[in-house]
Structure 1
Amino acid sequence: MESLSDALWDVVISGTGLQQSLLALALSRSGKKILHIDPNEFYGGTEAALSLQDAESWVARISDGSRGLFRSASITRPEGASGLSPSRAYSLALAPQLIHARSALLSQLVSSRAYRQVEFLAVGSFYIFNQPQESAQESGLARIPSTREEVFSTTAVSAKDKRLLMKFLKFVLDYESSPQLETWQAYADSPLVGFLNREFKMGPELQTYVVTLTLSLDGKISTRDGLAVIRRHLSSMGVYGPGFAAIYPKWGGLSEIAQVSCRAGAVGGAVYMLGTGIETMETAGDEVKLQLTSGDAIRTRMLVRSDDSPSSRTGISRLVAVVGSPFTSLFEAVVEGAPRPAVALIAFPAGSLSTAAGEASEYPVYLSAHSSETGECPFGQSVLYLTTLATANSKELLERALEAFTHVAGGAEAPQILFRLQYEQLAGTDVTSVEGSIVTFPTPSPSLAFNDSVLEPVREAWTKVMGEAAAEAQYMVFEDREGAVDDDDVYE
């Protein structure tokens, strides 16, 4: 068997994040000579899912400054808390993104046959967290109605607002056609809330319901983008079953898709090396010479990597909490015949939280609650993922949101917080770079829902690697491998 150094590789893929892994899937039946490396000891890159022990090691590495996009990471195990299971019983996602049913990612997983290896779960209701008012009204969770049936049945919205909401939902479903198109074009680049106010006479409360469906991290999404996202949400409702518009991959979200894609690459003949990064790089004619941290010196016709350099764009602050409660009421099917959801999303609107010094939250805080059905924690526990834009007080606001949620959803006695992981994720570049034989993927946006724009650089890289053969090949369209249907039906 020839050594790594003896071979001339068609492509070296550095990193096993989602984009690099999807590229490995796309090339898995190309016959290309592929080396796939990752400096981490685990798959997934910024979309990885970590056991408790892996999380401890990851935080230690971030603390020494070796992870460019992450900072201010810490782990807390509250004193007196009991019930934490062994490390491998947990799979904490760094990028817990939901995937809308109309996403092109799902279409590619189906056409490539990779979907057989992934188990998907329903994402349930979206909620708004309501703080108590001066009238001593109880705080609680209000479900956001996003279908005709939910609008009619909800008691959280007045009759007048129900009519406004129905009018808007009908408008969005056909917003790209006349006369709807002419109605919103003048507001295209203005905040969605202004459009809702002027054209639909919505008050602040109803505006919050609508903007929450966009999952906008700053709450200032434009009318053009907001209508597109809400249209995607509404059109995704019922595609894979009644009562839900989005799904979530079991065992750690996008990390599971990355691992499945890498397995396809390995079956196709790619060589995998974890714990191996690039030490030095030199372009020599049509080749790229790489010195790996493993000590190997290799040559490749093309290098595909990701950019881990922070940019000036605003990053996010995250808090991941393992909680000793199943929060059963969050994970109930609300439509007859619907599957039991494994994920629920709760929004704390801007201004609904305050620091100890009385500073109100400038941006929304989102809490994604995951049941044990996700495979991310043991039975009887839940994993809560809290996200907001990074500010000077975002860490404290996430703690406030966690405290408020567990107080409301945990019943008479607030459940124990068994484990906390906190960190900031910086934003990176949003542009693909192609310099000769080196392709650098942009950093995926740390959004709450998967954005199909992530897929475009992958196809561009595939086209460059395939060269002239790309004109005759079908991108991400494969037949089942022999025996795959019988072996893999358990995943459907």
Structure 2
Amino acid sequence: MEEEYDVIVLGTGLTECVLSGVFSVEGKKVLHVDRNDYYGGESASLNLTQLYRKFRDGAEPPAEFGRDRDYNVDLIPKFMMANEELVRVLTHTDVTRYLEFKQVDGSYVYRDGRISKVPSNEFEAVSTPLVGLFEKRRLKKFLEFVQKWKDDDPSTHQGVDLDRMQAIDMFKKFGLEAGTQDFIGHAMALYTDDEFLYSPAREMYDRIILYVSSVARYGKSPYIYPMYGLGELPQGFARLSAIYGGTYMLDKPVDEILYDDNGKFRGIRSGEECAYAKMVVGDPSYFPDKVKPVGRVIRAICLLEKPIPQTGDLSSVQIIIPQKQLGRKHDIYIACVSSTHSVCAKGYYLAIVSTVVETDIPEKEILPALKLLGPITEKFVSVSNVTVPLEDGTTDNVYISKSYDASSHFVSIYQDIRDIYKRATGKELVIKRRPRQEEEQATLGSA
């Protein structure tokens, strides 16, 4: 502890671990501390005993649920898009050497009382039960237009200016009805509210292309998910940091944040020991006086013995319930995985329901989603605050991550990683490709 570092990182959530890995690769001397004795922080993956310790006051889990080691239950489930930036970060940093990914079998959306697959191309558009006959043709033309668009070829633009035309006007141009706009915006472009309708269509176009290209990469759905749960991700970046000299300390309490006479970060104290650095990156729980709550999220972890109905008995799916379907302001997300991802015992399924809390009775808000799951064997419910930093960190060199949102994807997390990096360094985050393990060995062999 009694050393000077370039960066101290507090908490081993994914945001913190990615940044720790990136800083280490760049040659910075990093100390990474977590008060917990496990990786992941608020986004950890727990075994069965840990789950019951957290939600059932340490009660013993039923023997019929199987072995402890068969469970890796995400407290905050997230699926990755196969072509998204975070996957490129994993690939370029070679963190993929520590991880194995498996595709999520289906991407679904709830509309008018039933679950349907999200159409991802013009062929699925003409067969989807989500829309009527005439709307199918309009949806097909819209998806064809999006996939054929080329910035430098005006003949593909059909009079659309993505940078000036609002998303809602682009929808109107193709005659798409409100319900179709709803599932395109929320289940394909993955927006969490309807503000996107009144923004330039460029971002929506980029998000739809990301969805479509991610589906095309593996088929079935655009999503992938790590074997043994999301807890593997921060551990992968922790290994990367360690390779480049990063120092990790788990089960290490942080008793005090130290500042100099000018109010800038100076270091941390744990017991009688101190460590010093020019700046700190940490999750909100380490800086309660420097964050503010901006909402609450409810999550329900449900253990099932059968696949979710209306999904073709798939072992893993994402289901998005757009806000308007239930007269809400926020979408409800269902992420379902199973023993095929090594997160629960064989014969069981894990479905996690999440949304932003809008009333004084949070669990009542997710009842429509819980009903979609079929019989629920066990359920663990939590409500947590969503917090954001009060300042950007440039004054005191304290860079705090945002709480994890209710969505079941990584869009907002990677945005936060990039934002913190830019504020802390003054530079855009550019991930340079590391040599693969086999390339490093070949270089050593020829030396």
TM-score, length basis structure 2: 0.81
Change (3 A) 1:312 1:16: closer
In 2, the alpha carbon distance for the partners of 1:331 and 1:249 equals: 22
* Structure 1, 375-384 or 242-251: larger mean CA deviation: 242-251
In 1, the alpha carbon distance for the partners of 2:117 and 2:401 equals: 38
Pairing partner for 2:349 from 382, 387, 412: 382
Q: What is the Cα deviation at residue 457 of structure 1?
A: 3.5
Matched residue of 2:219: which SS?
A: coil
> Which residue of 2 is the match for residue 160 of structure 1?
134
In 2, the alpha carbon distance for the partners of 1:180 and 1:396 equals: 46
Q: What is the Cα deviation at residue 294 of structure 1?
A: 4.2
Change (3 A) 1:328 1:371: farther
In 1, the alpha carbon distance for the partners of 2:312 and 2:271 equals: 46
Pairing partner for 2:305 from 317, 324, 337: 324
In 2, the alpha carbon distance for the partners of 1:127 and 1:163 equals: 20
Pairing partner for 1:172 from 129, 146, 154: 146
**Residues 399-414 of structure 1 mapped to structure 2, 5 A cutoff:** 399-403=367-371, 405-407=372-374
Matched residue of 2:295: which SS?
A: coil
Aligned pair 1:35/2:31, yes or no? yes
Aligned pair 1:54/2:50, yes or no? yes
Change (3 A) 1:51 1:196: farther
In 2, the alpha carbon distance for the partners of 1:430 and 1:257 equals: 28
Q: What is the Cα deviation at residue 260 of structure 1?
A: 0.6
For residues 118-145 of structure 1, give each alpha carbon's deviation from its aligned partner in whole angstroms, at most 9, with x where no partner exists: 11121233223355xxxxxxx5422221
Q: What is the Cα deviation at residue 395 of structure 1?
A: 1.7
Change (3 A) 1:36 1:181: farther
Q: What is the Cα deviation at residue 58 of structure 1?
A: 4.3
> Which residue of 1 is the match for residue 445 of structure 2?
none
Q: What is the aligned-residue identity percentage?
A: 21
Matched residue of 1:457: which SS?
A: helix
**Residues 7-406 of structure 1 mapped to structure 2, 5 A cutoff:** 7-30=3-26, 32-58=28-54, 83-130=64-111, 140-173=114-147, 177=151, 178=154, 179=157, 182-183=160-161, 187-188=165-166, 192=167, 194-195=168-169, 198-211=172-185, 212-222=187-197, 223=199, 224=201, 225-239=203-217, 241-253=218-230, 255-284=231-260, 289-308=266-285, 309=288, 311=292, 313-327=294-308, 330=311, 343-350=316-323, 352-353=325-326, 361-392=328-359, 393-403=361-371, 405-406=372-373
Contact 1:161–1:202 (8 Å) recurs in 2: yes
Change (3 A) 1:331 1:25: farther
Contact 1:24–1:261 (8 Å) recurs in 2: yes
Contact 2:334–2:351 (8 Å) recurs in 1: yes
Q: What is the Cα deviation at residue 235 of structure 1?
A: 2.6
Q: What is the Cα deviation at residue 166 of structure 1?
A: 1.1
Pairing partner for 1:480 from 408, 412, 436: 436
In 1, the alpha carbon distance for the partners of 2:141 and 2:118 equals: 16
Letter in 2 for 1:158: G
Contact 1:175–1:227 (8 Å) recurs in 2: no
Letter in 2 for 1:89: D
Change (3 A) 1:214 1:395: farther
Q: What is the Cα deviation at residue 401 of structure 1?
A: 1.7
Aligned residues: CA RMSD: 3.7
Letter in 2 for 1:434: T
Matched residue of 2:394: which SS?
A: strand
Matched residue of 1:278: which SS?
A: coil
Contact 1:278–1:290 (8 Å) recurs in 2: no
Change (3 A) 1:145 1:175: same
Contact 2:107–2:222 (8 Å) recurs in 1: no
Pairing partner for 2:416 from 454, 458, 461: 454
Contact 1:348–1:364 (8 Å) recurs in 2: yes
For residues 4-61 of structure 1, give each alpha carbon's deviation from its aligned partner in whole angstroms, at most 9, with x where no partner exists: 22x222322111111221122223445543221012222112322222333344459x
**Residues 406-425 of structure 1 mapped to structure 2, 5 A cutoff:** 406-407=373-374, 415-425=375-385
Q: What is the Cα deviation at residue 288 of structure 1?
A: 5.0
In 1, the alpha carbon distance for the partners of 2:70 and 2:437 equals: 32
For residues 230-286 of structure 1, give each alpha carbon's deviation from its aligned partner in whole angstroms, at most 9, with x where no partner exists: 2221232322x2333221222223x32111101222233322112224322333489
In 1, the alpha carbon distance for the partners of 2:440 and 2:233 equals: 17
Pairs aligned (count): 426
Q: What is the Cα deviation at residue 478 of structure 1?
A: 1.9
> Which residue of 2 is the match for residue 65 of structure 1?
none
Change (3 A) 1:372 1:294: farther
In 2, the alpha carbon distance for the partners of 1:195 and 1:330 equals: 33
In 2, the alpha carbon distance for the partners of 1:145 and 1:219 equals: 20
Contact 2:126–2:137 (8 Å) recurs in 1: no
> Which residue of 2 is the match for residue 69 of structure 1?
none
In 2, the alpha carbon distance for the partners of 1:33 and 1:105 equals: 23
Change (3 A) 1:82 1:102: same
5+ residue gaps in structure 2?
443-447
For residues 185-229 of structure 1, give each alpha carbon's deviation from its aligned partner in whole angstroms, at most 9, with x where no partner exists: 5553xxx5x436632222233233323323333355335343332
In 2, the alpha carbon distance for the partners of 1:143 and 1:301 equals: 50
Contact 1:323–1:417 (8 Å) recurs in 2: yes
